[in-house]
Amino acid sequence: MRVTLSFDNGPTPGITERVLDELKARGIKATFFTVGARLLSAEGQALARRAKAEGHRIGNHTYSHTVPLGRCVSGEAAVNEIRMTEALIGDLAEPVPLFRPFGGGGNITPDLLHRDAAGHLAETGYSCVLWNSIPRDFNDPQGWVERGLDQCRGQDWTLTVLHDLPVGCADRLGEFLDRLGAEGAEFVQDFPPNCLPLQRGKAQPMFAAIVRNGDLGDRPCRRP
Ligand SMILES: [Zn+2]
């Protein structure tokens, strides 16, 4: 059983440190999909730098994380959500930059990407990183561990989504990692290929399923 860990929506001062400590104590490398607006502060930047220095990967998880990019009012707004975060990640980016969309309740739907955002990711050579496990730590910060373990047991290579948020995985992450380790899990930093609909800018067959062709026109990308 292989397990790849990812932590979304941070960095969060006071929380991301705890996640980094748990990983460091066990020598596990992960990926942090950061929200651009959370990289504006000196604390946010310092946490991202610490994560990178400790061997973790830093990815792009939109600037504001408010409206899924497939539901943005315009392609320009959707692309800006990626670009602004790209600029804030700066030299912490991977050689092949990483993007994770959000929305659709964790399901694979065209809500995840506007066509123009998809075009930007492809042109810029991104890998787009989905998931195959969401234990829902963000709405069950104490009870998610059993679900997370079950999802890992049920497949050969799990890419799990956790959150370095105040309501998230931090309280029970150490226990989760120790129980996985006791069951023989091998922690790897690479991603299962079937979770990568875009690989180094190259669209895989499943990419079309997460791209909306055209404007839905119902909401701006950022709340006014
Ligand atoms: Zn998210």
Give distance in angstroms: CA of 98 to centre of ligand 1.
14
DSSP string, 137-186: TTT-TTTHHHHHHHHHHTSSEEEEEEE-SSSSSGGGHHHHHHHHHHTT-E
Asked whether residue 224 is assigned to any structural domain, the reply reads: no
Give the burial string for 88-104 (b: 16+ CB within 10 Å, else e). bbeebbeeebbbbbbbe
214 vs 115: CA distance, rounded Å:
6
Asked whether residue 62 is assigned to any structural domain, the reply reads: yes
Tens of pLDDT, residue by residue over 31-72, are 999 999 999 999 999 999 999 999 999 999 999 999 999 988
Write out the residue range of the structural domain in which residue 83 sits: 2-212
Q: Residue 63 sits in a domain of what CATH number?
A: 3.20.20.370
Give distance in angstroms: CA of 213 to centre of ligand 1.
22
Give distance in angstroms: CA of 21 to centre of ligand 1.
21
Q: What is the pLDDT of residue 83?
A: 98
Give distance in angstroms: CA of 102 to centre of ligand 1.
5
Give distance in angstroms: CA of 203 to centre of ligand 1.
22
Asked whether residue 15 is assigned to any structural domain, the reply reads: yes
Asked whether residue 27 is assigned to any structural domain, the reply reads: yes
| Alpha helix ranges (H) inside 39-172 | 42-53, 75-89, 115-123, 144-153
Contact between residue 203 and residue 122 where contact means Cβ atoms under 8 Å apart: yes
Give distance in angstroms: CA of 65 to centre of ligand 1.
7
Q: What is the pTM of this model?
A: 0.95
Beta-carbon contacts of 109 under 8 Å, excluding residues fewer than 6 positions away, are: 70, 103, 209, 210
Asked whether residue 223 is assigned to any structural domain, the reply reads: no
Asked whether residue 219 is assigned to any structural domain, the reply reads: no
Q: What is the pLDDT of residue 170?
A: 97
Nearest to 124 by CA among 200, 38, 72: 200
Give distance in angstroms: CA of 8 to centre of ligand 1.
5
Asked whether residue 189 is assigned to any structural domain, the reply reads: yes
Number of structural domains found in the chain: 1
Q: What is the pLDDT along the chain (224 residues), one digit of tens a residue?
A: 999 999 999 999 999 999 999 999 999 999 999 999 999 999 999 999 999 999 999 999 999 999 999 988 889 999 999 999 999 999 999 999 999 999 877 888 999 999 999 999 999 999 999 999 999 999 999 999 999 999 999 999 999 999 999 999 999 999 999 999 999 999 999 999 999 999 999 999 999 999 988 655 555 555 54
Asked whether residue 207 is assigned to any structural domain, the reply reads: yes
